[in-house]
Structure formats: structure tokens, C-alpha cells
Chains A and B, each alone.
Chain A
Amino acid sequence: MTATDLGMPGLAGVPTTDVAQNKKDFTSDQEVRWCPGCGDYAVLASVQGFLPELGLKRENIVFVSGIGCSSRFPYYMDTFGMHSIHGRAPAIATGLATSRPDLSVWVVTGDGDALSIGGNHLIHVLRRNVNMTILLFNNRIYGLTKGQYSPTSEQGKITKSTPMGSLDAPFNPVSLALGAEATFVARTIDSDRAHLTSVLRAAAAHRGTSLVEIYQNCNIFNDGAFEILKNRDTRDEVMIRLEHGEPVRFGANNEHGIRRNPATSGLEICSGDDPNVIVHDAQAADPSRAFALSRLADPGTLARTPIGIFRQVERPTYGDLVNEQVDQAVDNQGAGDLAALITGNDTWTVE
């Protein structure tokens, strides 16, 4: 049985095992050292709980991370792993995934790691569509350096480095990824295990770069940043759950909907029973609609925040194309002959 047979093209070529696995098989012997109450624990538990479902050989799974609280993640996974340097995990994972198509490669990163110091690598890995899943833990704050504002912090944020309020406008990671030609973009929340797992499942199945933004609570430096999306009393009014093929509605009784405004071509809120409520198409070739959905959220209050899979389209992966060229070169010219290469066409002999 291969991963392709499982309907998981993203994992094609990665060897599977028939031996049953459980969460413990993916739990390393290292003590987890995040702050008590950190949202990272929930994500770790979800990932460890989900991986057995894939049935992959553990030795063919690699977690690569950068620097930051979330980047300690690989130490806690009993797979191969590399805790690298700040912002560079996507670049390192590109070399690994391209040279080893038999590996399932995961990148764990944060909002500072991926969007600030590593912003360049993130957009380029998305544009190339290297086969890997990127878990972007977004807590809208710098945790490991103790509480400075991050590139996703809301404008005006008071932190140690911005006592009078931050001045820069935040990135919306989903919008950024869509603009960078990403083929799979999703958003989920640390505390919603069922939703997180469903997104992970789709991300792993996708062949190409899957970007999963995970809203994650930093209870020390930015506690409650996503409370409005988590609290039973408020979440239904502000959170839009995207389901492919379903109308885009929200509210406790789906009383709100999203429709296209013919005058502006943008999206707007309407009544849930409006006949023009749009149907979500994550597989649309044109990313404009997905982008428009990503812009609904208010960067300050998080009102109208969509979660779920924004975009999921097929495009050849960089690694597959690289390996195809290698195969093609061998097919066309034969396997390399070192003696012939170094000799070349223009030689002379001294007796």
C-alpha cells in the first residue's frame, strides 16, 4: 500500500507501514518546555494524535523548524527533526524535500519566524510549490524574546518595544500566501482539535506547499488574542467557517451570509437567506475569490474571520519537476560518464 492509494498524493513516494501506530509512537522522550497553558501544547497533541492516521514510516517523517517558541516543536516529535535558525526553515526544507521525495516534510514556524525574518523564504517556497506542510503558529506576538510586537500584531499594540503603540500595519498571512501563488492555504485554531485535525489531513494530502495558519494563544504575552473566536458567546457572530462546496454563512443560526457586491466586485455581508450568498470553491483556479475572503477579517477586532481551507489547487511541485529533469537528462543522454565529462572534446596527447 502506498500513500497514493490512500488518496494522499502529497505523500506519494513516502513509504507506509502496516504496523499500527498511536500517539505515543510520535512522542519523544524530551520534556516539553513551553509555558503552562501555552496553545502550542494543543497543537502538539493534535499533530501527534493525527500522524498515526497517515500510516507512514516514522523514519520517513521530518520536522524542520526555525527559531521561536513554536520552533521547539521537532524536539518533542519522535521522528527525524531539525531545529534550525531564525526564518530559514522553509529554505532548509526545500533542499531536503527536493533531494528526498521519499520524505514527508513538515515545517513548524511562527509569525515572527515565517513572516518577519523569514518572509522571503516563505513567499518563495510557496511560489515554487515545494512539497511540504508548513504549520505557521500565529500568536501575534514575539514570545521567546519576551513580548515585542510581531508582523501580525494589530496596529497600535502596546508592547515592550512599542510603549506608545506599534505603528506598522500587520500582515494577513492568508492574504500573503495567496499573493505568493500558494496552492494550499488554510487557517485553523489551536483549541479546536476537530477542525485543526481536518485541516492537517487535507494539508498532508495536498501535493505541494500547504500553508496552515494556526491561531495560537500566547497566555504570557498576548493572552486572549483570539478569545473572540473561541468564546462560545462571541465566536458564532465573528467566525466564518469555510467548507468547499457550501454556502458561506455564519452566525448562530447562519443568519449572516457573504455575497458579491456587483458595484465594487468585493465581498460584503448579507442576510443568510440572501439568494446571492456565495458558495465556497477552494479549487477555483483564480485565487481572487479566496483572496477576497481573506480580506473580510478585521485585522484589529478579528470580526468576520474565515477559518478553513481558502485554496486547494493542483500545480506541479518544484521537487517533482526537478526530479523529472534529472530523469529526462538520463533518458536523453544516458547516465553521466565522469571520464567522458572531464575529458571533453578538445584534448591533446603528450607521448
Chain B
Amino acid sequence: MTAKQVRELDRVVIRFAGDSGDGMQLTGDRFTAETASFGNDLSTLPNFPAEIRAPAGTLPGVSSFQLHFADHDILTPGDAPDVLVAMNPAALKANLPDVPKGAILIVDTAEFTPRALKKVGYATSPLDDGSLNSYQVHALDLTGMTMTALEPFGLSRKEASRSKNMFALGLLSWMYGRSIDGTVRFLQSKFATKADIRDANITAVKAGWNYGETTEDFAVSYEVKPAPMPSGRYRNITGNLALSYGLVAAAKQSGMPLFLGSYPITPASDILHEISKHKRFGVRTFQAEDEIAGVGAALGASFGGSLGVTTTSGPGVALKSETVGLAVSLELPLIIVDVQRGGPSTGLPTKTEQADLLQAMYGRNGEAPVPIIAPASPADCFDAALEAARIAVTYRTPVFLLSDGYLANGSEPWAIPDVESLPTIEPDFATEKNHGSGDDAEFWPYIRDPQTLARAWAVPGTAGLEHRIGGLEKADGSGNISYDPTNHDYMVRTRQAKVDGIEVPDLEVDDPSGDARLLVLGWGSTYGPIGAAVRRARSAGHAVAQAHLRYLNPLPANTGDVLRRYERVLLPEMNLGQLAMLLRARYLVDVIGHNQVRGLPFKAEELAEVIMKEDDQL
């Protein structure tokens, strides 16, 4: 055997694509885990249809998983794949437009039958007609080789062929020097009770690796060295998982039991699934009859002193809005997690978007201000959940946590925090009467802390503090029903002042040269793509400043100053300019929007072009 050449790369983008039943998400997850353990920095982008099993071999049925890994810190899952693994003609056709010339295509030829080709509109096979000449094509019978390797197991053709994704994983693992030990352990545990499936999959992944090692097809393997990262213990984590852990942590840090009331909805359901697994933390999860009951039960639990949380996506928020308004009026803590997806209506359930900002901000009757926090990356979902809980509990208010489909399913390495260092959240429940003295002493639920304007909160079970609250306007202090015009005006303004006065950190600006005239501002999941685009622009000689808003309501106190400091402010958003409108209205600054609603995150290269063009005009 000849020693194969190893070529060193600083970064690689791989996309696995196949039918939605081909196990591409699992393949991507496993390659990610191997890559994380190896110590590369990484970022992932799963992309799958809303249909569970769209018709096999069709374009709408294609599911893909893109992974970007590097020997340096990276911010996005990558614009274009360097390697596309296509398990059938549909996967090739759907993904080829994203693949630059010269890239590597690994194609499973087993599925390139005349019928399958015709199904997606290929008149001739692209493997034979020369249309792929500008790519490095590896046309391999992955399915056939998998079945040959699995012959000893006596599985049916269908069963054996299902392991082809593991064969592909083994091959790619060899190409990029990833260890498959973790995957073998994973398969042993996943299929612990199904010995034949377990052994077949392990055999397939090993066969894929060995094929790479021995075949002449692959003359080169690649090495991407570990990325230098701050010291510490790391794991890979998706946004939904980090958010779930953040909620469990917030319950512990506040001493309030977590109550999650939710109705299943894509792409938020995984949070319900995850938290349901952790009942040993005293967590109660409630799969409600509808979105309204989910948030209603969460608010009822909050009334009783639990940390009430509901998780949903945009359509669910629309249904919950009346209850959120009630929480504003009751001034009780409540966390509403909105994992945003493409809208309006059912929209694009599995695709990402940032178009619920104005719904979160204003989507209620009356003046009903609600704080909003938006995590910037998958791992940041952990901290953002803790922050949402801090604000909700400290200020007795519902809080919107605006994640999105990209953060929810995307992953990145996370420096695991020391739990001792997590902030404490103090519910500060009322235990004594707070109005009048002696025999006339009473508990008034709407007496406020002069600093935070948070009201006194007594939970049921507190003797002598029995009181009634409701959605009717309340008299300042006593909380009794009041229709008094002056009182209503005062209460409306006070609820607004309470939210406006929430302490949030200042907006930080990254302007290394100090010469920037253009500020690129973002919020939520655009942090990665904007950061990567700004880096590109800077390498091309542009002095560009970057700032990212994590708090959308209230905005950091210095936001206006920051915006006015630059000649031009560019704000990319995955909506038609929702934050831009808020900022223009509030600060009278001519914020320029760059807007895309394609259901996918911004591509760094395209965004860099936009940034440089704006900068050139200054």
C-alpha cells in the first residue's frame, strides 16, 4: 500500500445531502461530533423539508446538513460547500447551484437510474454527460459497497442499504482525519437492543473508512488542525439544547421550580422534548391542548411561584398574545420563547427568519410593553435564557426570548461554564403586609420597588397576604379594580417606565482601527454572518465597525449615541426592516436596511459585498 498524501487546509465546508429518509441529519450530527472532539472550531446548518417523508427521490424531499470547520475561529456554517455528498440525483440537482466550480462531489451512483433521473428532470445522467466536468467528481456505488460489506449479516436489501449514510460518514471521516471511535460508541448505545442493526452500522462506518484508506479513487486526504481556543472544557451544542439548559439553570439559580407549558410546533418542539427529560430537576412539563393553554398554564404556575415558561414559534405567539397581555397586567414573570420561522401564517416551518420582532414588540392590545432579548449564536441561547429569567423575575414581567430556526438547529463549540459562576436570580417574594400598620395593616400587591418599579409579589400559601389580581385595570398600590382615568394613565405610563428602566448592558462596538465611518449593526442570529462579512471587508481594506444588539426592548441606553457616531448605519435583517423601522422612529437616524427573507442565513460573501459597497459610497 502506498502512503497517501495529506494536504493541509485551514477550513472546509462539507454538505451531506440526500432524501429526507436517508439519515443525512444523523450523518451530519456525527461528523460534527467527531469534528468537535478533534478540536476544530465549527458551525453547522441543517436544512430539511417540513414534510417528514416527502416522496422519495424528489427535489422537495431533499434534506441536507452543512458543516464548516476550521483551524481558526469561524462565525458561520459557510457560504458554499467545498465538498458535496449527494446520495441521489435529487440531492445533486437541489444542491449543485450552491457548489462552486472545482469543488469535490461525492455521488452515490446506485440511485442514478433512468427513472430517478427523470423524476428530477435530468434528461441524461450528469455523471455521464460532461456537465460536471468542472468539478472533482467521485462517482461511487456507496449503496452497493455498503450492501457488499453487510452481506454476512443476512439483512434484507432495504435494511442493508439504509446503512449507506454510515458508509459515507466513514469515508468522509477518513478524508478529513476524524476518528470514528465516538461514532462507534454512539451506535453501540443507540442500537444497544438491536444487535444486528448496531453491528451493521458499525461495519458500514468502518467499511467506509477502509475504503478511503485503500482505494485509488482518493489520492489525497486532508488535515484541518485544531483551532486555538481559550482554554477550558468544550462541548458542541445546538441553540435549542443550550436554551433548554439555560432554562433548567435559571430555575436552579432562582430557586423557582421550572414549569414548561407548550404545544408542539416546529422548530421549538425540541425544547419541550429536552426539558421533559429532566424531571429529576423538579421540572414539570405540560403538553397542552393548544398554544393558549400552554401559555395559560405557564402563567398559572407563575402565579404559584414557579418559573413559568412557554416555547413556541410565530404562529403560536399569535395565539398566546392575549395571555401575554394578561401577564403584562398581572405583572408576573413569564418567559415566552419564540423560535422564529418563515412567515406569515404557516410559512416555512423548518426555515429561519427574524420577522417576529414587531409581533413580540407590539403584538398585543393596549399599551403592553414586553422586554425582548435575542441570542446571537447557538451557545448564546444558554446565557440569553438566564437573562430572560433574570429580567422576568426581577421586574415581574413577561419576557420574549427571540431565537430562530438557524440558532435552534445550528451548533457550535461551547466553553462549558462553571455552574458556580452563574448569576443568582432573586425572586424576593413578599412575606409581610406592606401597607398601613397595626390592625389596619394590609398587603397591597401593586406597591412598587422605587428602583426597579417591580411590584410586591406574594404567592398563594403566604398567610395574611391573600389578594386578588386580574386583567381589569388596577388602582395604583392596592390593586383593586379602578376605572379612574388618571389612575389608568398613571398605570399605563408606569408599566412602560418599568420596562424602559430595565438595566441592560451598553451596546459594545467593535471598531479595531477606530477609523470606521460605516457601522454594521445586527441582532439575533445574524451575528455570525455579519461578523464573517465584516472580517472579509476589513481584509479587503475597509474600516468597518460592527455592533450587535442582544437586547431589543429596552434597547441599551447608549444605542442612540452609537448610531449617531457613524456616518452610515447598515442593518442586515432576515425580514423587511423591522428593527430598522424601530431605530429610525426612536433615534431619527437614517438606518439603511439590507433585507433577505429566503429562509436561510445570510452568506458572508454576499454580505461583505454589500458592506464594501456601502463603505465605498462614503
The size bracket of the interface on B is 35 or more
B467 x A338 contact (CB < 8 A): no
A349 nearest CB neighbor, chain B only = B233
Number of A positions contacting B (CB below 8 A): 62
Q: A100-B460, A343-B235 are in contact. Are A348 and B39 (CB under 8 A)?
A: yes
Which chain B residues (99-143) contact chain A, with CB distance < 8 Å? none
Residues of A at under 8 Å CB distance from B? 28, 30, 57-64, 67, 74-75, 77-85, 88, 91-100, 102-103, 120-121, 124, 322-323, 325-326, 328-330, 332-336, 338-339, 341-344, 346-351
A99 x B257 contact (CB < 8 A): yes
Q: Is B326 an interface residue (CB 8 A)?
A: yes
A80 x B234 contact (CB < 8 A): no
Minimum CB–CB distance for A4 against chain B, Å = 18
B465 x A85 contact (CB < 8 A): no
Q: Is B609 an interface residue (CB 8 A)?
A: no
Q: Using A82-B468, A85-B323 as known contacts, list a sample of 7 further A-B pairs with CB atoms less than 8 Å apart, ordered by residue number in A.
A: A75-B470, A88-B293, A91-B292, A96-B301, A96-B303, A102-B461, A341-B248
Alpha-carbon gap, A61 to B467, bound state (A)? 11
Stretch at the interface among B279-287, B388-396, B511-519, B592-600: B279-287
Minimum CB–CB distance for B28 against chain A, Å = 15
Minimum CB–CB distance for B170 against chain A, Å = 19
Alpha-carbon gap, A81 to B463, bound state (A)? 14
Q: From B233, B289, B290, name the one whose CB has the most chain A CB atoms within 10 angstroms.
A: B289
Contacts of A94 in B (CB 8 A): 286, 288, 293, 296-297, 300
A96 x B36 contact (CB < 8 A): no
Please, could you name 25 A-B residue pairs with CB atoms under 8 Å apart, sorted by A?
A58-B463, A60-B460, A64-B300, A74-B470, A79-B466, A82-B330, A82-B470, A83-B472, A84-B471, A91-B296, A94-B286, A95-B261, A95-B300, A100-B301, A100-B305, A121-B292, A326-B280, A326-B284, A338-B252, A338-B281, A348-B39, A349-B232, A350-B226, A350-B230, A350-B231
Q: Is B308 an interface residue (CB 8 A)?
A: yes
B231 x A80 contact (CB < 8 A): no
B304 x A103 contact (CB < 8 A): yes
Q: A64-B300, A83-B472 are in contact. Are A350 and B229 (CB under 8 A)?
A: yes
Contacts of A333 in B (CB 8 A): 280
Residues of B at under 8 Å CB distance from A? 33, 36-39, 182, 226, 228-236, 245, 248-249, 252, 257, 259, 261, 278-284, 286, 288-290, 292-293, 296-306, 308, 322-323, 325-326, 330, 382, 416-419, 460-472, 480-481
Pairs of residues from A and B, 6 with the lowest C-beta to C-beta distance, nearest first: A83-B470, A95-B300, A95-B297, A91-B296, A336-B281, A92-B300
Contacts of B297 in A (CB 8 A): 91-92, 94-95, 98
Alpha-carbon gap, A351 to B228, bound state (A)? 10
Picked from A75, A82, A323, A347, the residue with its CB within 8 Å of the CB of B235 is A347
Minimum CB–CB distance for B566 against chain A, Å = 36
Picked from A78, A92, A326, A334, the residue with its CB within 8 Å of the CB of B303 is A92
Minimum CB–CB distance for B182 against chain A, Å = 7
A103 x B300 contact (CB < 8 A): no
B278 x A341 contact (CB < 8 A): yes
B326 x A84 contact (CB < 8 A): yes
Minimum CB–CB distance for A113 against chain B, Å = 13
